[in-house]
A and B are shown apart, each in its own frame.
Chain A
Amino acid sequence: MMTITAGGKIIFILMAFLVTFACFASDAFSGEVQECLRCHAKHGIIKKFENNESIEAYVDAKKFMVSVHNSLACSDCHTDFSTEKHPSRRYRSKKQYIIKSSLVCRRCHLNLKATPIHAKVLSEEEEGKPHPCTNCHGSHSIVHVGKRTFKTEEQHCLKCHAYELSMEFNNGETLSLKIDASLLKASVHRKLSCSDCHFGFSSTRHPQRNFKSLRDFSIANSETCRRCHFDKYTKTMESIHYIKLSQGNLKAPVCTDCHGSHLTLDFGKERTLIAHRCQRCHPRIFDIYAKSVHGKALFDMHNRDVPVCVDCHKAHDIADALALDYREKIPEICSNCHANEAIVSKYGLSTNVVKTYLSDFHGVTLIFYKKQREEFNKPARQIAVCTDCHGSHNIISTRNTDPAVVKANLLKRCQQCHKDATKNFPAAWLSHYEPTLKKAPLVFIVNSIYQIFIPGLLIGLILQIILHIWRYAVNR
Chain B
Amino acid sequence: MANIDRIKGNKIRRFSIFRIIEHWAVMLTFGVLVVTGLSQKFYSLDVSQWLIFKMGGIDYARLVHRFTGIVFLLITSIHIIIGIIGVAFKKWHPSMIISKKDFTDAIHNIKYYLGIESRPAICDRYNYKQKFEYWGILIGGLLMIVTGIILWFPTFITRFLPGEIIPAAKVMHTNQALVIFLIIAVWHIYNSIFSPDVSPLDTSIFTGYISKERMLTEHPIELARLEGKPLEEIITEHQDIHYENLETS
Q: Mark A441-457, 1 if CB is under 8 A from B, else 0.
A: 01100110010011001
Residue of A nearest to B113 (CB): A467
Distance between A50 CB and nearest chain B CB, rounded to angstroms = 80
* Known contacts A446-B175, A468-B195, A470-B113, A428 near B186 by CB under 8 Å: no
B179 sits at the interface (CB 8 A): yes
Q: Are B196 and A458 in contact (CB under 8 A)?
A: no
A427, B159: Cβ atoms under 8 Å?
Answer: no
A-B contact count (CB 8 A): 113
Shortest distance between the CB of A448 and any CB in chain B (Å): 10
Contact at B172–A446, with CB atoms within 8 Å?
yes
Contact assessment for A420 and B156 in the assembled complex, using a CB-CB cutoff below 8 Å: yes
Question: Given the complex, which residues of B lie within 8 Å of A474, measured CB to CB?
Answer: 115
A372 touches B163 (CB 8 A): no
The residues in A between 426 and 476 inclusive whose CB is less than 8 angstroms from any CB of B are 426-430, 435, 440, 442-443, 446-447, 450, 453-454, 457-458, 461-462, 464-465, 467-472, 474
Q: Which residue of B lies closest to A419 (CB)?
A: B155
B40 x A364 contact (CB < 8 A): yes
B87 within 8 A of A: no
The reply to whether the CB of B206 lies closer than 8 angstroms to some CB of chain A is no
Chain B hits for A427, CB < 8 A: 158, 162-164
Q: Mark B100-118, 1 if CB is under 8 A from A, else 0.
A: 0000000000101111000
Residues of B within 8 A of A468 (CB): 113, 195
Verify B163–A426 contact, CB threshold 8 A.
yes
Tell me if B183 and A461 are in contact (CB < 8 A): yes
* Complex interface: chain B residues within 8 A of A381 (CB): 59
Q: Which residue of B lies closest to A451 (CB)?
A: B175
- Residues of chain A within 8 A (CB-CB) of B158 are 421-422, 424-425, 427-428
Within 8 A of B (CB), among A261-314: none
In the complex, B83 has a CB within 8 A of chain A: no
Chain A binder among B10-18, B50-58, B66-74, B208-216: B50-58
Query: Across the interface, do B112 and A368 meet the contact criterion of CB distance under 8 Å?
Result: no
What is the size category of the interface that chain B forms with chain A? 35 or more
CB of A227 closer than 8 Å to a CB of B: no
Q: How far is the CA of A362 from the CA of B161 in the complex (A)?
A: 22
Contact with B along A348-369 (1 / 0, CB 8 A): 0000000000000100110111
| CB 8 Å contact bits of A369-387 with B (1 = contact, 0 = none) | 1011001101001000000
* CA distance in complex: A106, B129 (Å): 119
| B159 with A422: CB separation less than 8 A | yes
Contact between chains at A440 and B167 (CB < 8 Å): yes
| CB neighbours of B112 from chain A (8 A) | 471
Map CB proximity to A onto B147-185 as digits: 1 under 8 Å, 0 otherwise.
000000011101101111111101110011011001100
B190 at the binding interface (Cβ < 8 Å): yes
Whether the pair B115, A447 counts as a contact (CB closer than 8 A) is no
Render B228-245 as a binary contact track against A, CB cut-off 8 A, 1 for contact.
Answer: 000000000000000000
- Interface residue count on the A side (C-beta < 8 Å): 46
B154 to chain A: which residues have CB within 8 Å? 418, 425, 428
CA distance A350 to B110 in the complex (A): 51
User: Does the CB pair A447–B175 fall under 8 Å?
Assistant: yes
Question: Which residues in A have their C-beta under 8 angstroms from that of B155?
Answer: 418-422, 425
> With A364-B43, A471-B112 known to touch, is A435 a contact of B53 (CB < 8 Å)?
no
Neighbouring A residues of B162 by C-beta, 8 Å: 424, 427
Please tell me if the beta carbons of A461 and B53 are within 8 angstroms of each other in the complex.
no
B134 within 8 A of A: no
Q: Looking at B115, B161, B167, B190, which has the most chain A CB atoms within 10 Å of its CB? A: B167
Residues of chain B lying within 8 A (CB to CB) of residue A421: 155, 158
B187 at the A interface (CB under 8 A)? yes
Interchain CB contact under 8 A, A465 and B159? no
Residues on the A chain within 8 Å of B170, using CB: 361
With a cutoff of 8 Å between Cβ atoms, the chain B residues found around residue A364 in the complex are 40, 43, 58
CB neighbours of B172 from chain A (8 A)? 446, 450
Knowing A424-B162, A428-B158, A467-B114, the reply to whether A376 touches B186 (Cβ < 8 A) is no
List residues of chain B with CB within 8 A of the CB of A371: 49, 53
User: Which residues in chain B, 29-47, are within 8 Å of chain A measured between CB atoms?
Assistant: 40, 43
- Establish whether residues A424 and B161, one from each chain, have CB atoms under 8 Å apart when the complex forms: yes
Q: Are the CB atoms of B58 and A442 closer together than 8 Å?
A: no
On whether the beta carbons of B186 and A465 are closer than 8 Å, the reply is yes
Interface contact A454-B182, CB-CB below 8 Å:
yes
> Given A367-B43, A443-B168, is A425 in contact with B163 using a C-beta cutoff of 8 Å?
yes
Q: Which residues of A contact B165 (CB under 8 A)?
A: 428, 442
> Given A365-B58, A447-B175, are A442 and B113 neighbors across the interface (CB < 8 Å)?
no
Question: What residues of A have a CB within 8 angstroms of the CB of B179 in the complex?
Answer: 450, 453-454, 457
Question: What is the CA–CA distance of A472 and B195 in the complex, to the nearest angstrom?
Answer: 10
Known: A364-B40, A368-B43, A453-B179. A442 touches B195 (CB 8 A): no
| Cβ-neighbour of A372 out of B58, B167, B196 (below 8 A) | B58
**Residues of the A chain whose Cβ atoms lie less than 8 Å from the Cβ of B53:** 371-372, 375-376
Q: A422: which B residues are within 8 A, CB to CB?
A: 155, 158-159
Task: Report the Cα distance A421→B158, complex, angstroms.
Answer: 8
Chain A's closest residue to B61 (CB) is: A368
Annotate A126-154 by CB proximity to B: 1 below 8 A, 0 otherwise.
00000000000000000000000000000
B167 in contact with A430 (CB, 8 Å): yes
CA separation between A78 and B195, bound complex, in Å? 125
Of B58, B161, B166, the residue contacting A368 (CB under 8 A) is B58
Contacts of B58 in A (CB 8 A): 364-365, 368-369, 372
A27 and B129 CA atoms in complex are apart in Å by 128
A435 adjacent to B167 (CB under 8 Å): yes
- When distances are taken between beta carbons in the complex, the residues of chain B under 8 Å from A372 are 53, 57-58
Q: Which residues of A contact B183 (CB under 8 A)?
A: 457, 461
Q: How far is the CB of A440 from chain B (nearest CB, A)?
A: 6
A424: contacting residue among B113, B115, B159, CB under 8 A = B159
Residues in B whose Cβ lies below 8 Å from that of A428: 154, 158, 163-167
Q: Which 4 pairs between the two chains have the least Cβ-Cβ distance?
A: A427-B163, A428-B166, A450-B175, A368-B58
Task: Apart from A361-B170, A443-B164, list 15 A-B contacts with CB within 8 A.
Answer: A368-B49, A372-B58, A420-B156, A422-B159, A427-B158, A435-B171, A442-B164, A443-B171, A446-B171, A447-B175, A457-B179, A464-B110, A465-B187, A467-B114, A468-B113
CB<8 Å pairs between A and B, sample of 23? A364-B43, A365-B58, A367-B43, A368-B43, A368-B49, A371-B53, A418-B155, A419-B155, A426-B163, A428-B163, A428-B166, A430-B167, A443-B164, A446-B172, A450-B172, A450-B175, A450-B179, A453-B179, A454-B175, A457-B179, A461-B186, A468-B195, A471-B112
